[in-house]
């Protein structure tokens, strides 16, 4: 049987068996390049993602419910500011707060992260259970109600897609358990007896060996993504809408990542990522294509925008929140006449109540944004805030 969850397995390569160091410094390249074996911190689930963007935008992964976000595990950072000064936490605590989730490109260049490492067991177990959405509503409802409350060693995320020759909306319950398979089976029988999971449905991986196969894709692939956070379970009508909309398009994906666990033990303002207690899970929805002609890309993006609109009643509101690392340029981008109040419209989606503090940090003229930082000497939020890097993304 093929490993159903290769990207996560690659992330497992970063886990620790023998932890001799409690912390170390990494260059801001990819995790796999930066981390020696036998050293780990929480990070993303894809091999090609760099530590620069991932950590400074939050960093959700399969370890998050137990070991929180990558940004939460930063104990220090070396940052070059716009004037070429190299700063660390002791020299500027506000800047240190801002780069852990507020997107470092807005504030300077990260030269190094210093990360707290975590201990993980020698064995991790992985499985993926496949079902069809139209016959698994009860299972879906159960997953929504308990996935954020499961023991922290157990992560079950949900991938929804409309793939294959036969148009069917499929569910993949993808799981990582921090422990051996014989511990996992009784847990699954308790929480998800309908999975009927047996030992030979699982992969048991040794966290110190054999996981560093590099599989960086060589083919170009295009996609547009959106994200949301969910605070109350999606009702039957919502799942019907999702199924109907997925059946209209080939190849869309929705990934639901449970929160809860240790994520809830950190306050909304301790680091910049505010989506803590009260959120059940995060949704990332993507439409992808390989033929980048105008007609195909417009069709895929229109489909995703329609789904985003229809999801509104079912997701967090006031503001409708989103995860910075899955940012959606439809929220807005800076024009020449940008302003703090305009940036706030989308800034609060990502940062909620932390947006204003980020703006204040920025207004202290420590910005490193390539375009405007040198011009922004003023102290009012209106004049300085909008040069935060994330708002320079091209559409």
- Please list the active-site residues: 326
Among 32, 39, 60, 388, binds ligand FAD (CB under 6 A): 60
Min. distance of Cβ 30 from ligand FAD in angstroms?
7
Residues 6 or more apart in contact with residue 13 via CB below 8 angstroms: 32, 37, 207, 211, 212
In the list 9, 14, 54, 124, the residue contacting ligand FAD (rule: CB under 6 A) is 54
The yes or no reply on residue 110 touching ligand FAD (CB under 6 A) is: yes
- Looking at the Cβ atoms of 52 and 258, the one nearer to ligand FAD is 52
In angstroms, what is the minimal distance from the CB of 326 to ligand FAD? 6
Q: How far is the CB of 70 from ligand FAD (least distance, A)?
A: 7
**Closer to ligand FAD at the Cβ: 57 or 260?**
57
Strand partners, 253: 161, 286
274 near ligand FAD, judged by CB under 6 A: no
Of the candidates 252, 258, 260, 389, which one interacts with ligand FAD according to CB under 6 A?
389
Residue 271 burial (CB count, 10 A): 23
**Considering beta carbons, is residue 58 or 179 the nearer one to ligand FAD?**
58
**Residue 181: closest CA among 143, 122, 126:** 126
Instruction: Determine if 59 is a binding residue for ligand FAD (CB under 6 A).
Output: yes
Torsion angle, alpha carbons of 246, 247, 251, 256, to 10: 30
Q: Give me the least distance between CB of 57 and ligand FAD, in Å please.
A: 5
Residues 297-326 binding ligand FAD (CB under 6 A) are 325
Q: Taking a C-beta distance cutoff of 8 angstroms, is the pair 67, 73 a contact?
A: yes
Q: Is 104 in the site for ligand FAD (CB under 6 A)?
A: yes
Cis check: omega of the bond before 131, within 30 degrees of 0: no
Least Å distance, CB 205 to ligand FAD, is 18
Measure the CA–CA gap between 131 and 140, rounded to whole angstroms: 10
Rule CB under 6 A: choose which of 5, 16, 32, 61 binds ligand FAD: 61
Cα 382 to Cα 265: distance, rounded to the nearest angstrom: 34
Query: What are the tokens at 362?
Result: 């920025």
CB 276 within 8 A of CB 72: no
The answer to whether residues 156 and 173 touch, using CB atoms and an 8 Å cutoff, is yes
105 binds ligand FAD (CB under 6 A): yes
Which listed residue (14, 39, 45, 254) binds ligand FAD by CB under 6 A? 45
CA pair distance 370, 359, nearest whole angstrom = 17
Q: Which stretch binds ligand FAD (CB under 6 A): 53-61, 119-127, 178-186, 246-254?
A: 53-61
């Amino acid at each position: 049987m093929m490993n159903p969850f290769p990207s996560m397995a690659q992330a497992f390569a970063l886990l620790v068996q023998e932890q001799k160091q409690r912390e170390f410094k990494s260059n801001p390249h990819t995790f796999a390049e930066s981390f020696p074996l036998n050293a780990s911190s929480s990070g993303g689930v894809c091999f090609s993602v760099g530590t620069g963007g991932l950590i400074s935008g939050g960093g959700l992964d399969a370890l998050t419910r137990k070991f929180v976000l990558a940004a939460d595990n930063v104990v220090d950072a070396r940052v070059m500011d716009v004037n070429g000064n190299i700063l660390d936490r002791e020299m500027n605590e506000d800047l240190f707060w801002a780069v852990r989730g507020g997107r470092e490109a807005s504030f300077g260049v990260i030269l190094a992260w210093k990360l707290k490492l975590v201990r993980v067991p020698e064995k991790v177990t992985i499985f993926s259970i496949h079902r069809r959405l139209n016959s698994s509503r009860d299972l879906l409802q159960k997953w929504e109600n308990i996935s954020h409350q499961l023991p922290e060693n157990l992560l079950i995320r949900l991938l929804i897609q409309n793939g294959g020759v036969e148009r069917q909306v499929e569910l993949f319950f993808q799981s990582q358990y921090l422990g051996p398979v014989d511990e996992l089976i009784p847990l699954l029988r308790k929480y998800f007896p309908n999975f009927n999971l047996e030992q030979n449905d699982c992969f048991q991986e040794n966290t110190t060996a054999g996981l560093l196969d590099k599989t960086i894709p060589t083919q170009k692939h295009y996609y547009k993504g959106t994200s949301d956070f969910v605070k109350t379970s999606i009702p039957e009508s919502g799942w019907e809408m999702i199924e109907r909309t997925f059946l209209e398009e080939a190849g869309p994906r929705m990934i639901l990542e449970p929160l809860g666990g240790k994520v809830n033990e950190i306050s909304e303002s301790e680091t910049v990522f505010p989506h803590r207690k009260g959120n059940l899970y995060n949704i990332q929805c993507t439409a992808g294509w390989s033929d980048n002609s105008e007609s195909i890309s417009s069709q895929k993006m229109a489909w995703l925008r329609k789904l985003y609109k229809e999801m509104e009643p079912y997701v967090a509101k006031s503001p409708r929140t989103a995860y910075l690392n899955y940012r959606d340029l439809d929220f807005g981008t800076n024009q020449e006449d940008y302003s703090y109040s305009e940036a706030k419209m989308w800034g609060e989606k990502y940062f909620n109540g932390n947006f204003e503090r980020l703006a204040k940090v920025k207004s202290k003229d420590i910005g490193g944004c390539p375009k405007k930082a040198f011009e922004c000497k003023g102290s009012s939020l209106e004049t300085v805030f909008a040069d935060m890097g994330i708002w320079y993304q091209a559409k």
